[in-house]
Amino acid sequence: MANFKKLFSLKLGTLIFGHPLSSQNAEEAKLGVSGGVPVFGSDIISSEGYAPDEILYVLLLAGTLGYAYILKISLLIVLLVISIFLVYRKAIQKYPEGGGSYTIAKAYLGENFGLIAGASLTLDYILTVAVSVSSAIENLTGIIPWLAPSGHKVIADCLVILFMAWINLRGLKESARLFSFPVYLYIATLALLIGTGLVEILIHGVTPTAVATGHLASSSVSGMTWFILARAFAGGTTALTGFEAVSNGVTAFKNPAQKKAIRTLLILAIIVSLGLIGLTYLAGAYHLVPAEGNTVLNQLGLIIFGKTIPYFVLMGTAAAILVIASSTPYAGLPILLSLMARDGYTPRYFKNLGDRLVYSVGIWTLFLVSSLLIIVFHGNTHAMLPLYAIGVFISFTLTGAGLAKHTWKERGVKWQSDFVVFSFGGIVSFLVLLVFITTKFKQGAWIILLIMPLLVFIFRSIRGVYQGEIHNLEVTEEAAEEFHKHVQKLKRRRAEAKLADYKNKIIVPVYDLNLIVLKALKYAYALTPQVTAVHIASDQDRTKKLLKHWAEHHIEIPLEIVESPYRATVHDLLKYIDKIEKKGNFDTITVAIPEYVPEKLWHNVLHNQTGQLMKLMLLFRKSILVTSVPYHPVPKKILLADSSINPKN
pLDDT at 217 over 60: no
Per-residue pLDDT at 643 exceeds 70: no
Q: How many CB atoms lie within 10 A of CB 470?
A: 13
pLDDT in tens, 107-133: 999 999 999 999 999 998 998 898 888
* Contact partners, residue 434, CB within 8 Å, separation at least 6: none
The terminus-to-terminus CA distance of the chain in angstroms comes to: 52
The per-residue pLDDT for 265 is 94
Number of domains in the chain: 2
The CB density around residue 226, as the number of other CB atoms within 10 Å, is 7
- With 90 as the cut, is the pLDDT of residue 503 above it? no
Q: Is 24 among the domain residues?
A: no
Closest by Cα among 13, 93, 110, 29 to 460: 110
421, pLDDT greater than 50: yes
Q: pLDDT for 75-87, tens place per residue? A: 999 999 999 999 8
Q: Looking at residues 135-148, what average pLDDT do you find? A: 74
pLDDT of residue 3 exceeding 60, the answer is no
For 537, the 3-state DSSP assignment is strand
- DSSP assignment of 136-191 equals HHHHHTTT-GGG-SHHHHHHHHHHHHHHHHHHHHT-HHHHHHHHHHHHHHHHHHHH
Please write the tens of the pLDDT for every residue from 564-623. Answer: 888 888 888 989 998 998 888 888 999 999 998 888 888 888 887 777 888 888 887 778
In a domain, 237, yes or no: yes
Which CATH number goes with the domain that contains 478?
A: 3.40.50
Per-residue pLDDT band for 18 (boundaries 50, 70, 90) equals low
CB 535 within 8 A of CB 561: yes
Q: Which of 405, 432, 466 is the last residue of a domain?
A: 466
Mean pLDDT of 136-161: 81
| pTM for the predicted model, two decimal places | 0.83
Say yes or no to pLDDT of 252 above 90.
no
* Higher pLDDT pick, 29 / 530: 530
Is residue 547 within 8 Å of residue 533, measured between CB atoms? no
Identify whether residues 394 and 515 lie together within a single domain.
no
* Cβ proximity of 406 and 111 under 8 Å: no
- CATH code where residue 189 lies: 1.20.1740.10
Please check whether residue 23 lies inside any domain of the structure: no
pLDDT over 50 (residue 489): yes
Residues 454 and 559 in one domain: no
Domain containing 500 equals: 474-639
Band (305; pLDDT cuts 50, 70, 90): very high
**Do 451 and 498 lie in a common domain?**
no
Is 55 among the domain residues?
yes
CA distances from 54 to 45, 304, 385, 394 (A): 15, 21, 12, 20
Range with the lowest mean pLDDT among 172-176, 188-192, 390-394, 532-536? 172-176
Residues 350 and 483 in one domain: no
Residue 528 confidence (pLDDT): 92
| CA nearest neighbour of 590 among 532, 513, 516 | 532
C-beta neighbour count of 516 within 10 angstroms: 22
Contacts of 545 (CB under 8 A, 6+ apart): 512
Cα 387 to Cα 26, 229, 233, 273, 445, distances in angstroms? 36, 21, 17, 24, 5
Confidence bin at 644 (pLDDT 50/70/90)? very low
Report the alpha-carbon distance of residue 483 to residue 461 in Å, rounded.
33
Tell which residue, 134, 202, 537, 579, has the closest CA to residue 374.
Answer: 134
Write the CB contacts of 71 (distance below 8 Å, at least 6 apart in sequence).
277, 280, 281, 284
Per the domain annotation, does 17 fall within a domain?
Answer: no
Residue 646: predicted pLDDT:
41
Q: Which CA distances in Å does 357 have to 169, 282, 367, 465, 476?
A: 9, 44, 18, 28, 36
User: 431 and 541 share a domain?
Assistant: no
Confirm whether 4 is domain-assigned: no
User: At 143, is the pLDDT very low, low, confident or very high (cuts 50, 70, 90)?
Assistant: low
pLDDT in tens, 435-482: 888 887 777 778 888 889 999 999 999 999 999 888 888 898 899 999
Tell me, what's the pLDDT at 635?
A: 57
CA distances (Å), origin 568, targets 252, 301, 365 = 21, 51, 20
User: Rounded to the nearest 10 degrees, what angle do helices 172-204 and 257-285 cross at?
Assistant: 30
Higher per-residue pLDDT: 16 or 405 = 405
CA contacts within 13 A on the Cβ side of 327: 35
